[in-house]
Structure formats: C-alpha cells, structure tokens
Structure 1
Amino acid sequence: MEERNELKKTLKPHWVWAIAFGSAVGWGAFVLPVDWMATAGPLGVIIGFSIGALLMIIIGVSYGYLIEKIPVSGGEFAYAYYGFGRYHAYLCGWFLTLGYMSIVALNASALALLAKFVLPSFAMQGLMYNIAGWDVYFGEVLIATIALIAFAYLNIRGTKLSGFSQFVFCITLIVGVVLLTISMILHPSSSFTNIQPFFNPGVSAFAAIIAIVAISPWAYVGFDNIPQAAEEFNFSPKKAFKLIVIALICAAITYSLTIIATAVAMPWQTLVNQETIWGTGDVVNNAYGIVGVLLLSLSLCMGIFTGLNGFYVSTSRLLFAMGRANILPRAFAKLHPKYATPYVGIIFTCIITLFAPFFGRQALLWVVDMSAIGVTIAYFYCCAVAYKLFRWSESTGDSALLVSPTKKFITLLGVISSIGFFLLLVVPGSPGFLGTPSWIALLVWVALGLIFYAVKRKELASIPKETLDYNVFGKTLDNSGHTEEKKNDFAKIDA
C-alpha cells in the first residue's frame, strides 16, 4: 500500500459553521432578489426558500450520521464508495467536482459584476468581445482573476487561516445584512405595501413556490462543505448535524432579509420591469446614496469571499480524497511541505476557474444551472447510503446495522426529496427545467466523464479492494461504523 496522507485537525466548530453558512449564502442573496421575485413574488420566494431549507435539513440528517460514521475528506464521494462501491463513487465525485468548481467561478464573476456597478470606470475598461449578449471587458476579467488567485493563495497558506478568515467574513456579512434590512424598512419612502401582491400574478402561488424550491439545491449548496472538511475537525464529528442545521437556518433567514430589504423600497413589480444591472443596488442607492451602496457592497463582498473561500476548501478536499483513492491522479493527494494543505487541488481549481471570466457571465450561468444536477446527485447518494445503514426493527435486516425506524424514515424522505429535486430539473415543463444551453453544457461534462472513465477503467478495476478501503477510510470500518486494526471484508456493503 502507498503512503496515505492525512490532513491536520485544525478546524474549530464556529469555523466549520462559517464554511457551511458562508458557502450556502454566497453572492446570490444580494444579486438575485429581483430575479427571484420576478419568478415567484416576495412571499413566494421566502416560503420557497424556507421549504427548501427544511428539505435540506431532512437531507442533513443523513449527512450528520455519515460524518460521524466516516469522518474523512471526500464527503459524498466516500459515502458513495462505502454504500455502493468504486464506480458509483467515481460518478458522484465527477458530478460534485463540476458543481463545486462552477460555484468558485461564479463567485469570481459576481465580484466583477459588483465592480461594474460600484467602479464602472475601471471594470468596464477594454471591451474585448460579446458572448451570448454579455460584453466581456478586460477590467472585469482582471478583477475576477485577482480574486481567484488571492483565495487560492489564502487556502494554500493553511486551513487555520482560511477557517478564521471565513468566520470573520460571515460575522461581517450578518451584521451588514441586519443593518441594511433595518435601514431599508425605516426609510421614509419604504412601505410593506410595496411587497404586494405577495405572489407573481402570472402563475399560481403553488407553482411560484415550487419554482423557488426547485433551485434550493443550488441556493443552499455549501452546507455539504461540512463533510468535505470532516477529516480536519478538532472536535467530535457528533456536532456536525447541529452545525448543518444552524447554518441552514441562518442562510434561510439571510435570504428572507435581503428579499424584504429589496421589496419594501418600491413596488416590486415596478422594480422587476426596470432594466437594471443590479436591482437591489439601485433601491439602496436611491434610499441612502453612496453610504447605502457601500454597506450593501461590503455585505456582498463578504458573501462572495465566503463562497470563494468555502468552495476552494470543499473542491480541494474532494480532489484530495479522489486522488488518495487513485480515482484521480495520485498527485492530488500531495500535501504542501510547509503548510500541509492539499495544494495541488487548490492550484488545479484555480487554473480551471481562471478560464471562466473570459466566457462572460451569461455563458457561465448555463454551467452553474446544470451543475445543480451534480449537487442533487450527491445529495441522493448520501441519503441512499444512510438509508441502507438503518433498519426498521430488530427482526429485519442485518444485525450489524443500527435499529432506528425514525432515522430510517427521515433518510427515506431525504432520498425522495433528492429525487424530487432531480426531476424538477430534468422533466420538461417543470418549474426548474434546464434550458437548452445548460443541457449542452451538461452533455459535454458527461462526455468528458465517460472519456476519462474509459481511460481509467482498467486501472480503477485493478486496485485491490483492501487498498482502496484503506485509501478512502484510513482504517477499516465494519458495518456498524467501528474501526478495526486489521483490514475487514467490505463485501456485504460493497455488493
């Protein structure tokens, strides 16, 4: 067996909460309220995201159990291997890598969008070309590039530094959102009557809510960064579920507050019908001028920074775990000689995402839309594996598995929710159905995955199971999750 590198246990609980919360909120809470209200109306958005958070918490039950059982880097990749074997692990890891990298790239482009609004004279310098109706400027490409390189460097320097920075970013974000919302509500021109009608008059209230629920896997993606960092917890993995729940509740409240702050300023339908680069920025600017824009911009920057930092952490840990298992090149399992971070995965993520700003924001949105499928697939695997590991009663199933009919039922709900999210994205006519460009991007990624699988198939099949178990888990696990000093046979659970 090759040497198995392990990450240091340096992450504190509040840092892990910050990684989950900050990644789940990101830039969307500040940039997209007008787009969401155009789809569902203010109350439709709030209810939709609240339901989405509840469904994510249901899914989070499976995550909490599996983090406690398998506290290693790789998250869903490791769980898929544990429950269904190496080929399912490859499938899950391939799609999840796409989802994580897309969000790193999109956060960088969101920073460029902010610069277009706040510093247009710099960001809109050097028009290069137009892609899908979006003008691409050298200034915005430069801003996104600097951000991607800076956060790659921050993550290479050490997990302690990135974890502490994430916590500071999140606290600043929360303070900014609360101050912004209170200020907008108290402004003389604001009124809660501007929130009416509560739903989009063009569709039924049910359809409006479901349209928002359909994007919840994308809106809340980031809470699942917790299992990616599980190997680095300096506390008991038993706390993971509590951190997931707190992060999701905080994220749902943040989304709701930014919707309210935007909608009270003026009749939301009027705002939706205006052609503007940033609707929330316009209403804040009209109310409080440059001071309000600076407060909003600070909050948005924190949302972008937490997204960049959090998904650099999760992407590099996923690549590290897949490299350690030899499913990706072994180089991804290397650690920095000084900082002990998975620097190859960080640099690789940086290099790939550096191409993104050159394709324009609209083209990038197509990739992000379809990446929601990858995240949903990961949710499904996590819940399905947790479902397998519980049994309904003493008289059924393997005696090595845990008897918990309540948790088995909740994990079943998680499986159903994951399938429901997937169907909302792929069934024609559903509120979340992907557009043609997103389908093209998805098919390209699937084709690349099949090509890579064809190249690696024989090598992957030739890895002895004992070696693969050790590389993924470090220590052998029996079906009840207890570590053993000697290598155990996984045949039953890998069948």
Structure 2
Amino acid sequence: MTEKRVELKKALNPIDVWALALGSIIGFGCFVLPGDWLPKAGPLGAAIAFLLGGLLMLIIANSYSVMIKNFPVAGGEFAYAYGAFGRYHAYICGWFLALGYLSIIPANGTALAVLGRFVAPGLFEWGYLYTVAGWEVYLGEIMLATFAMLFFFYLHYKGVGAAGKMQSLIVVLLVAAVLLLGGGALLNPVTSTANLQPLFAPGKSAIACIAALLAIAPFLFVGFDTIPQAAEEFNFSHDKTKKLMYLAIIIGAVVYATVTLSTAMAEPWQDLIAGKPVWASGQAMYKTMGNLGVVFLMVGVLMAITSGINGFFMATSRLLFGMGRAKVLPNWFTDIHPKYSTPYKALIFVLIISLVAPWFGRKAIIWIVDMCAVGTAIGYMYTCMACYLLSKNNSSQYARGGYGKG
C-alpha cells in the first residue's frame, strides 16, 4: 500500500510571498554596515555594486522561477537537487542550507541586543553571565532574543497565513522607514550631494571599488530564496513567482543603495568614517534629521531584524519538512498539526536550536553565519544546474531522484 503524501495547506497570497522575500533580503547589516562599505567602495561604487548585484541575482532568480513552476514543493533547492542528482547530492545541499538558515534566526535575535545597546544602553544589559570572544553575554539580552523568537514561533505554529500577514506589515514599515530616510537626505538643507565626493574610494579604480562589494552580493541578497521553501503553500498560480522575486530583489538593491547614499550625504563621507563612529548611519541620520531621523532608522533596523526572524523560521522549517518527507531526516519532521496544518515539529526543532544559540554569544553566532553562508551559494548552484538539466529533458525524465512532484 502506497503511503499517503503529507502536504501543506495553501495559505499564502502574492503580497505575503513578496514580503517574505524582501523582508529576508534586507537585514540588520543594511542599516549598520554602510560605515564599512564606504571606505571599500565609496558612495557611488557601493550603489553601483548593489544594483549590479541585484541584476546578477535576477539571473539566478530566473532559474528559481522555472523550478518553482515545475516543482512547487516544500524544500526548494533540496527538492531540486534530489530530482536532478539524487539523494546524496540533495543531502549535501539540504544540510548546507539548513545550517545557514538556522544560524540566521539567532543572529537576528541577538541583533536586538545590539540595537538595544544603541537605543537604550543598560536596559537589557543586566544579569551578566560571561564573555565569549569579547562579547559580554547578559541574561537580559538573552531574554529579549528569546521573547522575539518565541513570538514568531507562535505565529508560525498557529498558521503560515498569520505569519505572512505579519511579514507584510513589517515590510511596509521597513520600506516606509527607508523612504523617509532617503527623502530626508535629499530634501534636508543640511545634506548635500557634494558630500558624496569622492564618488569612489581613494587609491582604487572605479572597477576595483565596485568589485569589492559586488563579490559579496550573493550574500547580501540571501532571502529571496525563501520563496521556493514556501512554494507548496501558495494559494495562487506559480506563474507569478518570477515577478515576485524580481520585485523583491530590485527593491532590495534600491534599499541597500538608498541607505548607503543617505549615510554619505549627511556630511563629507570621509570625515564621517574618519572618526570611526560606532554606528555611522545613526550618526548621519542624527545630523540630518535629529532625533526623528534616528527614530526612522531604528524602525528600519527593528523591522529588518524581525522580518529576518519571521522569514527564516518559515524557510528553515519547510526545508526540514521537505527533507523529512524525502526520508533524509526522520519522519518526525513531517508531522502536521491537526488543527493549524503547520509542520509544528519541524518548527519546534528550529525553535530549540534558535533558543540555545544566544547563550554562546553573538560573536560566536556570527562566526557560524559567516561559515555557513557558503550554503546559500551551494543552493544557488544546485538550482541553476537543475534548471539547466530540466531544460534538456522534460519534467518526468528529470525527477529521477524520486522527489519531484510526487
């Protein structure tokens, strides 16, 4: 007797899916790292790199859209690797992605502590426990991260529809904050485009400046690949997937460029970074719009952090669910909640790992994120190769690995 295939409920609309991708693309670093990007590339060099990086990601997104249309199943890249190259390749791809996705959730959770240290110094820095690699671990900050992760776990546990609506709200606030920051930088008499000079980092060619940041573009745009993880839960035609991914990537590139240019316009950017400010963007927004500018920036940071937690909770749990359904992980991961129709055991597993990680300190988590970032590139590679193979064969010949649609 053939075992009945476990499937997820279709509950995500196009806006939720677009928000899922964009919210996962724009992370904490978008608002914190311009001070590191400017000396490497200069304002124009950075902006061009982000836009070119987005264009390159559109090529990869095209392969994803083809695969989603032909194989609309949870598991995304894992499923594509299984269908194209078999179980062992899928195992490698799946675990690289799972480790990368899992590490991003506590990385965002502990980013709340970093934001707290800027916004309200001392508020969460209580209950000192120990120091790991120079990072002081406080019980108060761990509780802050724990609360955030428990909240988003609860949303996903109750149903992906609720999580999707929350993501849409978060992303609207995120985009609004960026628009206000960009508008303030352009219209405020304090700022000037003259502050963008020199347009490229001194001592480097324009090409070298652009290449310096273009090299990390694949990692800046991690998040649009959360869409294939949710493909099984779309309540609309998968033909719309390409437009949703393209829109998320293009807006993501514009957001990166806008925040960086807004930072550089507040004052001559070389003077800004010469003082080695703890938070260059925060200092720039304070000079541009005072406390109101800092509030807009903090809203953007908070929304970027929470959208990442929300998006990768979904992506990680669906990836583990897909791996369980393919018998790469225990069948336990495929259990669906009888009332909420969610892969609740996979969500519980993700929550447990995410709650443990902050106890090791933020710097240790960032090390793991940096090491596991290669998993995303591996996912891109398998998807593009699977798409190429699919173009040479029809879908029934393609799915020799046995996962595919069925």
> If the TM-score is normalised by the length of the shorter chain, which range does it land in?
over 0.9
- CA contact under 8 A between 1:356 and 1:364: conserved in structure 2? yes
**Paired letter, 1:347:** I
- SS in structure 2 at match of 1:41: helix
Q: Is the 8 A contact 1:116 1:140 kept in 2?
A: no
Kindly indicate whether the alpha-carbon contact (under 8 Å) linking 1:217 and 1:372 is maintained by their aligned counterparts in 2. Answer: no
After TM superposition, the structure 1 = structure 2 runs for residues 457-476 of structure 1, keeping only pairs within 5 Å, are: 469=402, 472-475=403-406
Mapped contact 1:107–1:308 kept (Cα < 8 A): yes
- Show CA shifts across 1:324-343 (max 9, x none): 11101111111122211111
Aligned-residue RMSD, C-alpha: 1.9
1:127 maps to a residue whose letter is Y
**Once the 2 structures are TM-superposed, how far is the Cα of residue 474 of structure 1 from its aligned partner?**
4.8
Question: Are the counterparts in 2 of residues 9 and 233 from structure 1 also a CA contact under 8 Å?
Answer: yes
The match for 1:64 is 65
Which secondary structure state, in structure 1, belongs to the residue aligned with residue 373 of structure 2? Answer: helix
Task: Report what 1:284 is aligned to.
Answer: 285
100-109 or 122-131, larger mean C-alpha shift = 122-131
| Partner in structure 2 of residue 445 of structure 1 | none
Q: Which residue of 2 aligns with 1:374?
A: 375
- List runs of 5+ in structure 2 lacking aligned partners: none
1:60 Cα deviation from its structure 2 partner: 0.9
Residue 359 of structure 1 and its aligned partner are, at CA, apart by: 2.7
Structure 1 counterpart of 2:22: 21
Structural mapping, 1:252-331, within 5 Å:
252-331=253-332
Cross-structure match for 1:241: 242
The corresponding residue for 1:36 is 37
SS in 2 for 1:129: strand
Helix, strand or coil: the match of 1:123?
A: coil
In the alignment, which residue of structure 2 is the partner of 1:340? 341
Q: Aligned partners of 2:262, 2:92: CA distance in 1, in Å?
A: 41
Deviation track 1:426-479 (CA, whole Å, cap 9, x = no partner) reads xxxxxxxxxxxxxxxxxxxxxxxxxxxxxxxxxxxxxxx99x73xx3453xxxx
SS at match of 1:326: coil
TM-score (norm 1): 0.78
What displacement does 1:102 show? 1.7
| Corresponding residue of 1:158 | 159
Q: How many Å apart are 1:348 and its aligned residue? A: 1.2
Cα distance in 2 between the residues matched to 1:121 and 1:276:
20
Query: How far off its partner does 1:98 sit?
Result: 1.1
Which digits, 9 at most, give the CA deviation of each residue in 1:231-263, with x for residues without a partner? Answer: 001111111111111110010111111111111
Letter in 1 for 2:146: T
Which residue number in structure 2 is paired with residue 493 of structure 1? none
Check whether the contact 2:181–2:262 (CA below 8 A) recurs between aligned residues.
yes
Identity %: 49
CA distance in 2, matches of 1:119, 1:348: 32
More moved, 113-122 vs 35-44: 35-44
1:148 equivalent in structure 2? 149
Cα offset, 1:136, TM superposition? 2.4
Q: How far off its partner does 1:203 sit?
A: 3.5
Contact kept, 8 Å, 1:83 with 1:385, in 2: the verdict is yes
Task: Note the C-alpha offset of 1:193.
Answer: 1.6
Mapped to 1, the partners of 2:388 and 2:143 lie a distance apart of 47
1:229 is matched with 230
Would you say 1:116 and 2:126 are equivalent positions? no
How far off its partner does 1:16 sit?
0.5
The letter of the residue matching 2:228 is P
Check the 8 A contact 1:73/1:228 in 2, yes or no.
Answer: yes
Distance in 2, matches of 1:130 and 1:200, equals 36
The aligned amino acid for 2:250 is: I
Matches of 1:116 and 1:378, distance apart in 2: 35
The whole-number CA distance in structure 1 between the counterparts of 2:159 and 2:351 is 16
Counterpart in 2 of 1:447? none
Q: Is the 8 A contact 2:70 2:395 kept in 1?
A: no
C-alpha separation between the residues in 1 aligned to 2:204 and 2:132?
Answer: 31
2:357 matched residue in structure 1: 356
Deviates more, 1:97-106 or 1:80-89: 97-106
Structure 1 moving runs of 4+ over 4 Å: none
Deviation string, structure 1 residues 370-413 (Cα, Å, up to 9, x no partner): 2221000000000001111224xxxxxx6x479xxxxxxxxxxx
* Structure 2: distance between partners of 1:126 and 1:275: 30
Point out the structure with max Rg over C-alpha: 1
In structure 1, runs of 5+ residues without a counterpart are 392-397, 403-464, 476-495
Report if the CA contact (8 A) 1:181-1:258 is conserved.
yes
Q: Deviations over 1:53-79 (max 9, x none)?
A: 111100111101110000000000000
Of the two structures, which has the highest relative contact order with CA contacts closer than 8 Å and spacing of 6 or more? 2
SS in 2 for 1:120: coil
